[in-house]
Structure 1
């Protein structure tokens, strides 16, 4: 595991606010963290705003309270927005890795948690992107061959 890279992202994300939660294709969710910037798609139409950091969980995720699972990747998509909406604006208290193959858990204030947990063969399916404002470049961390690795675009 590239502990220093994860720790760098962890420290940068802690104490920022969850600015937007949106869903992509299938059950993929995106958590936009920090100040949002507008984005345009290749066709010129408006895209989803992007935060200073973006957490992508491709599938097999859940949102927890202290005592229950509130929703997950198998929850009816029609209910996702009403579940995501009350989480926006909450401060991120911590981001941790757990399990032998590193899964991600994000603790929000007021006892809410986003957790990844891959249930199919392969690797945990999460990525944290550091979205640069100055040069347009992005770096990211994700799991490859059971280890957290950092990539640069």
Structure 2
């Protein structure tokens, strides 16, 4: 078991770097999900096909933005018509870095081509992101809770 916040950050940085963005999709509301590496198909409770999951995943429930080298391309408060072409532009991009910023940890996924996916909570409570590592027999999920990186149960 990884004991320290910096260990979890390094775990996900090492796991994500070099993987390609394989799937980007919209969850409930404005939730953004970025799937990295090899995809695995999923099935919903009703038996219909679900969204595929990557080896590593990033979910930002809300208050996210996608940046290029000079501006914010779109975000959770942007016109939703901007989302699909921007999501498509992320596909196939290789992860260059995964880092944290802010006193209450927010996440930035930096991709080839100077593109960045960042969480940026603007409401009370905790930042609303989760990282998933689905490579092993027991998937691991971590997020920012009460100012620290914590394992999700």
Q: Return the TM-score normalized by structure 1.
A: 0.94
When the two chains are superposed, the root-mean-square deviation of aligned CA atoms in Å is: 1.2
Residue 75 (str. 1) matches residue 78 (str. 2): yes
Residue 52 (str. 1) matches residue 61 (str. 2): no
**Structure 1 stretch 54-63 or stretch 2-11: which is displaced more?**
2-11
Cα offsets for 1:103-146 (capped at 9, x unmatched): 1111100110001110000011110011145x3x3211101111
Q: How many residues align?
A: 150
Corresponding residue for 2:92?
89
Q: Tell me the distance in 2 between the aligned counterparts of 1:132 and 1:108.
A: 21
Corresponding residue for 2:145?
144
Is contact 1:27–1:58 with CA below 8 Å preserved after alignment?
yes
- Listed as ranges, the gaps of 5+ residues in structure 2 are none
Q: Tell me the distance in 2 between the aligned counterparts of 1:150 and 1:7.
A: 14
Residue 86 of structure 1: how far off its partner (Å) = 1.4
Q: Return the TM-score normalized by structure 2.
A: 0.94
Is contact 1:2–1:150 with CA below 8 Å preserved after alignment?
no
Question: Residue 127 of structure 1 is aligned with which of 125, 130, 137?
Answer: 130
